[in-house]
A = this chain, B = another copy of it.
């Protein structure tokens, strides 16, 4: 259903699984010829790769909406993925989790997290691949083209998988599991790879070494639970919508600057090294603007644009719950409304401090209004930003692999979005974490008409092969 969500998985898990299938098909080739042979296999079978992707795309799932039917779809895909990994010869452990208690009292089951291991040879480096399966159930048999093979000696690394189904809903329960498995599943892991985002250009691959965090706030203004008729009550009430609009209007100015006192104090200044890295990045501003269908961005230079996506926090107002949101006209005075906004945090910003600053600011604004309504602010999601050390071995291996497959140097970039698990993995396991994206800048993730190019998908599969080989050499 959601092309991007499948794209994330396709560009990562699918490409990887199909590559591995190829690797196991090839019976005892000389190590030096492995990569060529794999590339050939991928090229020859690319229609099948695309067909499998097509089947995955056709399937609906969603971890964000707390609906039992959709939740069941995630369980189904977790079971299918486990099955697929088992066919590949991996040892798979499905970790069952406690139910999730929603704010409205509803209880929903949380899909299991899969831990899988493919290869366990101490002399080889162990790469742990993290992926999430939200919005990616499978409706039909996955159509393996051959009988399953068991792992052959040709694979130059051991591979582990950790797959969850609740990333889009904030990775419920994953952190706890990582903590629990720190000294078991993760003990022999050397590198953790995540492939869940995009390049900054259409043609130049990128490595991602940082992501913004996210703090999501709800601010409720309540007069009473029932709505009012604006004819009967308009003019004598502190209307909750007027209060809420003033609160939301106090957060950010028209130049994108956040108006919450102290919020920028937590940032570190831009280094000379960083500035240089921004200069070499392959970003065609005009093309970026056109592909985004945005008439004009807030900034005119590549450096300004990128720093405001990666190095500065941003605040977005997402919407209002409880007001009139249908088409047409309704003269209601909503009695209780909830405004929703979030702040993307950059490295070195502290979540608790941000929460405190936001609450203090909103309380001050509300207090000045002298309204008889009740206001309540809560931070409902708090996800840390993440930044990695780009001198780590796997970054060097990935750079080489990119040169091999694409013939260019990768853009060393950050991501304005939040992949909270990167920071979680890094903090808990103390292992090197890298993001290896396969999708192009114009894939339009999380929006209408999202897509992934066939080229990115097929070459991405090759990139995994080259990366594993380089890693085994450098390790």
Chain A positions near chain B (C-beta within 8 angstroms): 64-66, 104, 170, 198, 211-212, 214, 216, 223-224, 226-239, 241-243, 245-246, 248-249, 251-252, 254, 256, 292-299, 305, 308-309, 312-334, 340, 342, 344, 369-373, 380-381, 415-418, 444-449
The answer to whether B328 touches A235, judged by C-beta atoms less than 8 angstroms apart, is no
The answer to whether B319 and A232 have CB atoms under 8 Å apart is no
> Which residues of B have CB within 8 Å of A446?
229, 232, 332
Q: What are the residues of chain B within 8 A of A245 when measuring CB–CB?
A: 245, 248-249, 317
Return chain B residues, CB-CB under 8 Å to A295. 223, 372-373
Decide: A340 near B329, CB < 8 A? Known: A227-B448, A298-B236, A372-B296: yes
Knowing A327-B321, A447-B228 are in contact, say whether A234-B372 is a contact too (CB < 8 A): no
Integer count of this chain's copies in the complex: 2
Q: When the two chains form their complex, are residues B330 and A234 in contact, meaning their CB atoms are under 8 A apart?
A: no
The 3 closest A-B pairs by CB, nearest first: A231-B417, A235-B314, A319-B323
- Shortest CB–CB separation between residue A117 and chain B, in angstroms? 31
A448 to B227, CA, bound (A): 7
B299 with A236: CB separation less than 8 A:
yes
Does the CB pair B370–A254 fall under 8 Å? yes
Enumerate chain B residues within 8 angstroms of A334, measured Cβ to Cβ: 318-319
- Residue of B241, B256, B293 near A317 (CB, 8 A) is B241
Q: Give the nearest-CB partner of A329 in chain B.
A: B216
| CA of A229 to CA of B326, assembled, Å | 22
Q: Considering the complex, give the chain B residue whose CB is closest to the CB of A254.
A: B369
Q: How far, in angstroms, from A235 to B252 measured CA to CA in the complex?
A: 10
Set B229, B251, B317, B320: member contacting A325, Cβ < 8 A:
B320
Q: Is the CB of B325 within 8 A of A319?
A: yes
CA separation between A134 and B326, bound complex, in Å? 19
17 additional A-B residue pairs with CB within 8 Å, beyond A214-B331, A233-B292, A239-B252: A198-B232, A223-B294, A227-B447, A229-B447, A231-B416, A232-B446, A235-B312, A237-B256, A237-B297, A237-B298, A241-B318, A245-B317, A318-B323, A318-B332, A318-B334, A319-B330, A332-B446
- A447 to B235, alpha carbons, bound, how many Å? 17
Given contacts A235-B308, A446-B229, contact A318 B298 (CB under 8 A): no
- Contacts of A373 on B, CB cut-off 8 Å? 295
Give the shortest distance, in Å, between A80 (CB) and chain B (any CB). Answer: 26
Interchain CB contact under 8 A, B319 and A241: yes
B344 touches A230 (CB 8 A): yes
Q: A234-B315, A237-B256, A298-B236 are in contact. Are A64 and B328 (CB under 8 A)?
A: yes
Residues of B within 8 A of A329 (CB): 64, 170, 216, 318, 340, 342, 380-381
Given A323-B320, A334-B319, also A234-B294 (CB < 8 A): no
Question: Contacts A325-B325, A446-B332: A254 and B233 contacting too (C-beta < 8 A)?
Answer: no
